Each structure stands twice: as structure tokens, then as C-alpha cells.
Chains A and B, each alone.
Chain A
Amino acid sequence: MLEITNLHASVGDKPILKGLTLEVPAGEVHAIMGPNGAGKSTLTNVLGGKPGYEVTAGSVTFRGEDLLALEPHERAAKGLFLGFQYPVEIPGVSNVQFLREALNSQRKARGEEPLSGGEFLKLAKEKAGLLRMDMEMLKRQVNVGFSGGEKKRAEMVQMGILGPHLAVLDETDSGLDIDALRIVGAGINAIMRSPGKAVLLITHYQRLLDVVKPDKVSILAGGRIVETGGPELALRLEAEGYDAVMA
């Protein structure tokens, strides 16, 4: 699904990723944990193609294609979904309009027929239901006036509607209370737990991993993956901290 090899990336003149190598096969949920400043968000932004992040060496292959050669919207159409740590507010554009245009742009890029208004609403209703979000919220402007938890749930509804192959979720658990965490976690499982899909779950805390049980856990520090293990690695980190585990 995703193969990252010796990835180096800079923001401005500052190197952040320094030889990151990681493979995520289909069917896997892979958690990335790491201390502040390790490069977690940079990894997300580089995978998404955000302007301002420069790849200086290495490669990223996504479903057999050179991901880095694609524009952000082309990456989305190929099946990459980026869950934002801070979802952006878009005043004046409703979620329904935004997502229908986004989905149909992706379908067009893949040579598929667009969904009609009725088909889209049926799909949106089903996916909103998974996240216990009512359609009234989807008729509102994108993320405007949403609480932190609502924004993260809305991100997962978007993921459900767009139906990606790979989701890169950047601290999707931040800003969530306990109940919302369970809803979001269950949503990730329902939408992405499938043999043909994969998740790169970037998080600081064990609590989301209690709900979305990862197959593998990697520690990102100093711009590289320094250790990879099973779910027990996250438990050790939670108990002992990064310094002790990485020592």
C-alpha cells in the first residue's frame, strides 16, 4: 500500500525528516508515536503534498505509484485521505456541497460517473450515522462553529464518504473527550478496517489505540523511525516514556 524509503524533507532550510523508512501493507493499521518535534506532522504534510514542504531525498510509493510526483488532489483521487490535526474552517461552503464536489472530482479523475444528489445524500447519511452525526450538521458550513470534537467527527464522516484506500490520520484523537474518542475510534474501525485498506495513525497517546487496535507501532524520533514493534510497544511507551524506551 505505502512504502516510504529513506525520506528526507525540509521546511524552509530546516531538515525535519532525516531518512525515514516505513512500509504499511494493505490490511494494516500502523500507529506512529513520537515526542513533540519528531516530525510527525511533517510526515503527514509531505504525504499530502502541502506546499512549503520540500522533499530533498528518498521516495514514497503509494499503490505502486510515485506519490511525490502527484498534486494533492491527484493523491486524493488515488485513494489517499489526510485527517487533519486542525481541520480548516471554510465559511460560506456547506459540508454537503464541499463533499459532493470533492467526491465527484475524485470520481471524475478515476473515470467514474458522478453521484447524483440523491445518491450522494444517501451515502452521506449512512456515513454520518456511523459517527453519530446528524445531517443537519452536514448542511452547515465546513467546520464553522464546530467544537474540536465535532471537527474530528466530521473529518471521519468525510473519510467515510470519500472511501480512501489509505488514511493518514494526524492526531485525530486530540481535542476529543472520552465518549467522542470511542465514537471516532469505532468510526475508523468501521470505515478503514478491511483487507484492502490501511491506516497510518499518528498519535501521542495510548487511549485511541485502545479502541483502534494497531497491528504495528513505530516510534518516530529525530525525523526517523527508530523502533517498530507490536501493540505492546505503545503500552511500554505509555508506562515508561520515550526516553526510557529509546535508551
Chain B
Amino acid sequence: MTVATLPTRRDEAWRYADMDGLARLGAGALGQWQAIDVPAGESLTRCLVAGSDAPELHRFRVQLGEGARAAFFVTNAGSDYTRVEVEVRLARGAHFEFGGVTIGGANKQGGVTREFVTQVVHAEPEATSNQTVRAVHWAGATGNFLGEIKVARHAQKTDAAQDFKGLLLEAGASANAVPQLEIFADDVKCAHGATVGALDEAARFYMMARGLDPATAQRLLVQAFIGDAFVALDDEESRATLLDAALAALEGAKL
């Protein structure tokens, strides 16, 4: 493949991407989709700690049969450009659950971008989806969540929810949330929300007044903040792995 096939920022789904990181990955990485089929009535849970000191691109294309269920939980904590994409097509009565955390600072010029891009297609009636993404960044890093929900004309009784919260520990870090809803059915519930803020200073002082040092207070507050993303994960061991990976990235964060 040639560099000419790389997308540009004019593509909505690549608007906040790190084009330099993408170029280093090469266009070949774009073709690498992992296809996952979950047959009717079955369920699948996938946990992933994404990110390293090189750029990473993870692309999943998921087909959910009738009444099938898929849950993806991801900690995205690379020290270089790290992008996790999930495209899901839901048949009647299926459920898709997504919990994601982007966390990290930036140890290189121009910052580090970590992002989730989802496209959830409610192709048939009565399917449900729920996406919870938390972004914690400092030192000129960026966290993105581009979440597209498409509801087909006949997909009545769709219930789709999307929730994004960003926590910026330092000026210069940023978080971008781009919810996109395309709804052609008329009897559906689609909810989305996005907030970005700083650490709760009142809570931090309260914790310090009880004896917690600043780093421990911050870790507890960040742990509570990102915990929402993994609430739907029942397996405690996997949840601990994802949380630990996220909190390990917090070492060295601005206090």
C-alpha cells in the first residue's frame, strides 16, 4: 500500500487523529480489521489494555446476532498515538456494551493522542447499546471519543446511550467528544452526554485534611472517576487489570 491511501483530517472519523503517528503506522495497518461474529443468543466479553511506546491501531468489526451480547472494555494508555475503533452491527434484541478509558500525559513534542472511535449500528428493532468513556489527561495530551450511533428506519425500540467525561489535570491537555446520532426510526431512546472538567479541589482538600498525601488523593479521585467505565464488567480480576493499567499511567502525572 502507499501513503496516498492514508485518510486525512477532512474525514470526520480522523478529525482529531495524530496523522504523524498514523503515517508511522503505515497505511497497511488500516486494513487490519479483526472480525468478530457473535451468533444469536451468545455473548462475548473482550478486555484490552492498548498502548505501548509505539503507535497502535486496533480495529474491531463486530456482528451481533439476535439477542447476542458483546462487551468491550479498554484501557488506552499508550505513550504514543493509540487508537481503538469498534464498529458494531446489532440484530434484533442484541446488546453492545463499551467501557473505555484514555489516560496519560505526553512525553514527546506535539503531545500524545489517545482515542476511541465507535460506530454502533442498530440495524434491527429492540437492540440496546451503552457506551461509557472516561478521559484523564495532562501535559499537553489529548483524549478523543468519536461515537457514532446509527438507527435504521425499522429499528424501533432501540435504546442507545453514550456518556463521556473528561478530566484534565493540567492546562494544555485536551479532550474532544464527538457524539454523532443518525436516527431514522421514530420510537427510540438515544441519550448522549459529554462533560470536561478539572479535579474537584474541594474533594482533594477534604482527602488531604484526612491525611492522604496529594498523590494518593489524586489516585483515589481518578480511580473513582474512571471506575464508571468498567462498572458493567463483572469479572473482578479483569476489572482490576484494566484499572491497574490505567492507574499505573497516572504515576508522574501533575499533582
Contacts and interface: CB of A to CB of B under 8 A. Distances in A.
A212 to B, nearest CB: 21
Contacts of B220: 90, 93, 97-98, 101
Contacts, number: 75
A73 B208 CA distance: 5
A51 B212 contact: no
A103 B205 contact: no
A76 B208 contact: yes
B1 interface: no
Interface string B200-211: 111101111111
A205 interface: no
B60 interface: no
Nearest to A76: B211
Interface in A148-187: 158, 162
B221 interface: yes
B143 to A, nearest CB: 19
A105 B211 contact: yes
Given A51-B201, A84-B206, A93 B212 contact: no
Tell me the interface secondary structure of chain B in the complex.
Answer: helix
A49 to B, nearest CB: 8
A82 B228 CA distance: 30
Nearest to B217: A73
Interface size range of chain A in the complex: 20 to 34
Contacts of B208: 49, 71-73, 76
Nearest to B214: A73
Given A50-B205, A51-B205, A84-B206, A90 B224 contact: yes
A87 interface: yes
A102 B206 contact: no
A202 B200 CA distance: 26
A48 interface: yes
Contact of A72 (B203, B205, B223, B224): B205
B206 A92 contact: no
Given A73-B211, A89-B203, 10 more contacts: A76-B211, A88-B202, A88-B203, A90-B203, A90-B207, A97-B220, A98-B220, A101-B212, A105-B211, A158-B210
Interface of A: 48-51, 71-73, 75-77, 82, 84, 87-93, 97-99, 101-103, 105-106, 109, 158, 162
Which 3 A-B residue pairings sit nearest by Cβ, starting from the closest? A92-B224, A76-B211, A106-B211
9 contacts: A49-B209, A72-B205, A73-B212, A88-B205, A89-B203, A90-B220, A93-B220, A93-B224, A162-B211
